[in-house]
């Protein structure tokens, strides 16, 4: 038993060091992704608030649109295992959903990822403003913050893993095209970093989905 415990501690420390090294190597990608996401989010919130204040009818139109969309999509009830898997599988769609996995295609995926970054940031901003107008300013704060502190970093790491993959594969393809030798060490490191960032994002998505399923509904009185 003591040997097993020592072995687990050693593995954990090694995993921690590996993850920190990965973050250090990819800090520019992670920072750029974070800044882009936050900029889109803030712009979306500001623009939505401005439009709704100038034309209140848009708020009602968005709410009715959201209600009509929900009539086509069956969302499982809170506090259920079905809701947990619904949220979790939706968030990790880039790893299993064939349509969402198109972002892994070299070069083409960069454009798709950029579009999704705009879409995700925009939707979160619009939903936050509508929830604030409908239920009060505290509602989106309570409804988004608990799981958001895990979910937003998870999205950032997921996007960073895809960008790392894009950079690694595009560099290898370009080297082949111009007749240069592919740097095997750099290529393997890029693939390894892609995997590490992806695993980290999945772990955070698990935590976020759990909170959104079992804690957020309780805080909102659902």
Within a domain: 3: no
* pLDDT of 212 over the 80 cut: yes
pTM of structure: 0.89
| pLDDT, tens only, 152-189 | 999 999 999 999 999 999 999 999 999 999 999 999 99
Within a domain: 68: yes
| pLDDT, tens only, 61-118 | 676 766 665 656 778 999 999 999 999 999 999 999 999 999 999 989 989 988 888 8
pLDDT confidence of residue 142: 86
| pLDDT, tens only, 35-72 | 998 898 888 888 888 877 787 777 676 767 666 656 56
Within a domain: 7: no
* pLDDT of 29 over the 90 cut: yes
Coil, helix or strand at residue 163:
helix
Within a domain: 6: no
Within a domain: 8: no
pLDDT confidence of residue 10: 85
User: 182: Cβ–Cβ under 8 A, 6 or more apart, which residues?
Assistant: 172, 175, 176
Within a domain: 10: no
For the chain, the domain total comes to 1
Within a domain: 103: yes
User: 164: Cβ–Cβ under 8 A, 6 or more apart, which residues?
Assistant: 26, 29, 190, 193, 194, 197
pLDDT confidence of residue 85: 97
Question: Which range of residues forms the domain containing residue 204?
Answer: 25-219
Within a domain: 87: yes
């Amino acid at each position: 038993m003591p040997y097993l415990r020592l072995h687990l501690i050693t593995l954990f420390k090694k995993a921690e060091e590996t993850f920190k090294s990965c973050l250090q190597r990819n800090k520019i990608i992670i920072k750029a992704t974070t800044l882009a996401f936050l900029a889109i989010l803030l712009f979306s919130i500001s623009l939505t608030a401005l439009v709704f204040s100038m034309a209140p009818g848009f708020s009602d139109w968005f709410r009715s649109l959201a209600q009509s969309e929900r009539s086509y999509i069956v969302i499982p009830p809170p506090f259920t295992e079905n809701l947990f898997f619904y949220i979790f599988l939706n968030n990790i769609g880039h790893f299993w959903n064939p349509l969402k996995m198109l972002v892994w295609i070299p070069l083409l995926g960069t454009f798709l990822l950029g579009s999704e970054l705009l879409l995700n940031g925009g939707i979160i901003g619009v939903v936050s403003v509508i929830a604030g107008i409908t239920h009060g300013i505290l509602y989106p704060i309570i409804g988004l913050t608990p799981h958001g502190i895990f979910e937003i970093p998870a999205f950032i790491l997921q996007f960073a893993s895809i960008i790392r993959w894009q950079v690694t594969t595009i560099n290898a393809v370009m080297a082949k095209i111009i007749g240069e030798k592919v740097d095997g060490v750099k290529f393997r490191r890029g693939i390894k970093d892609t995997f590490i960032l992806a695993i980290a994002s999945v772990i955070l998505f698990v935590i976020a989905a759990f909170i959104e399923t079992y804690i957020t509904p309780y805080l909102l009185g659902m």
